[in-house]
Amino acid sequence: MDDRLPQEALALSARSRLLAAASGILHPRQAIFGAAGWVTVTYVAQQALRLGTNIVLAWLLAPALLGTMLLINTFRTGGELLTDIGVGQSIVNHPRGNETNFYNTAWTIQIIRGLLLFALALFLTVPVAHGYDNPELLLLLPAAAPIFIITGLTSPARFLLQKQLKVRKLALFDLAATAFGTVAQISLAFLTPTIWALIWGLLIGTAVPAAASFFLIDWRSHRLRWEREAVRAIVHFGKWIFLASLVYFLAMNFDRLYFADAVPLTLLGIYGIARTFSDSIMELFQRLGGLIIFPRVSASTLRGSELKRAIGPMRMFVLAAVSISLAFAIAMADQFIFLVYDDRYRAAGFFLTVMLVGTWFGIAATMADATMLGIGKPSNVALSNGVKLVVIVAALPWMLTNFGMNAAIAVFVLAEAIRYAVLVLRQRSLGLSFIRQDLLMLAFFVGLIFLFREATALLGVTDGLAGWQAQASLSHL
């Protein structure tokens, strides 16, 4: 009996440490669900505003203008992601992230990066305009280039709030910024229904929130700073963030860059409508991962199987909710497009239906990404996005040329599934595999798609599977 007492005490002690560490991730659950609620509600409100903006602009402006702006925004996103060295992620992940010297050093790096991107955008204007045989870009790209300076000057306050898990304050700020951008964009489009409304709307809608971001914390704490130790820490963590961002951009935007040269700008604008809705769902889970999962896992001491046990039940709940809501969205996607857009955008209905299937795999992969970043393994994120990029580059041009636009879009479903599979393998090596849970949820998801589609057909809301077959027979080329 005496020998067993120390063993029982050790077991109880180990269990207590596990529970204490898990509490940093799971308890109080009300706080986590509350944070997730704030992110979700404000994000849905943001998307409602963006949807309204999207619909109004589609009525006010020609599809070719939306296609041109999609290309400009792709270059903008590319410039930011291709030079991302993890400034924000370093503030969240590093133990010194809350220190003034550290985050001011990060802010200084961000400013320098913005200035360099502005200069690079001006330098590349002529070759890009000639490459796409679009003389308008000779004026439009330099006009949009100051966006890099504006984003570079934006306060690091949002990363500090993210680290401190002040989700409510950050979510409300983002909602207010979106509301301002919506008013600015629509007002300008009414006044001047040209491409310049979109350019000035982008600049004004970014500049005002950038200025307001300084007041999220004590604005007097902002100083230009260059601390060598902080720079080394940011560069060390950021090298994998840079690679992950590079391949992420190429994987997410190769289609836009390729389609801009391979299909008419009108079709690109229609495709952009579908991408906007598909991406909005992914962005929600990227926000949930970035604002909740990433900082909580970073702050926790749990790793491997202990971390798996801690997050497994909540992950199951999230995937079940995703499967139900996404399956219904897929069943109704084409009817939604037919309802809110005129006949010029009808092809976006089937585009969106196909893209949303890939979104399920994207959401599962996004949750894995946030966990990998939290345990300090950004290399796995880079690897999975790299494999996704290879699939898209190899398959997209061939599918478009031989089978048309609908078939080409199906490539993104395959690419997301393969990206997810790579992350499953990497998670398994770290004791974090959820393959059984995911296979169950995938079967549930697929079954619900067919159930909802046929049920809505019986109610006379959709055309059922026959409607999908008819839409799939069109090449749109």
**Region class of 218: left (phi > 0), else alpha (psi between -120 and 50), else beta:** beta
- Average pLDDT of the chain, as a whole number: 83
Residue 30: pLDDT band (50, 70, 90) is low
**Does residue 15 register a pLDDT over 50?**
no
pLDDT digits (tens, 9 = 90+) for 85-144: 778 878 887 888 889 999 999 999 999 999 999 999 999 999 988 888 888 899 999 999
Q: How many other β-carbons are positioned within 10 Å of the β-carbon of residue 121?
A: 20
**DSSP-assigned states of every residue in 172-193:** HHHHHHHHHHHHHHHHHHHH--
Q: At what angle do helices 304-340 and 435-458 cross, to 10 degrees?
A: 20
Q: How many other β-carbons are positioned within 10 Å of the β-carbon of residue 214?
A: 17
* CA contacts within 13 A on the Cβ side of 69: 25
Q: What is the largest CA-CA distance in the chain?
A: 87
* Tokens, residue 451: 């159930």
Gap between the terminal Cα atoms of the chain: 80
**Does residue 19 register a pLDDT over 80?**
no
pLDDT digits (tens, 9 = 90+) for 71-90: 888 888 878 776 777 788 78
**Does residue 159 register a pLDDT over 60?**
yes
Residue 283: pLDDT band (50, 70, 90) is confident
Q: How many other β-carbons are positioned within 10 Å of the β-carbon of residue 111?
A: 15
162-179: b (≥16 Cβ within 10 Å) or e: bbebbbeebbebbbebbe
Instruction: Report pLDDT for 299.
Output: 66
pLDDT digits (tens, 9 = 90+) for 312-350: 777 788 888 889 999 999 999 999 998 888 888 888 889
Task: Give the C-alpha separation, 362 to 317, whole Å.
Answer: 17
pLDDT digits (tens, 9 = 90+) for 225-273: 999 998 988 887 777 777 777 777 777 778 877 887 888 878 888 888 8
Instruction: Report pLDDT for 5.
Output: 43
Residue 4: Cβ-neighbour burial (10 angstroms; 0-12, 13-18, 19+): exposed
Closest CA to 158 of 140, 146, 171, 144: 171
Instruction: Report pLDDT for 396.
Output: 92
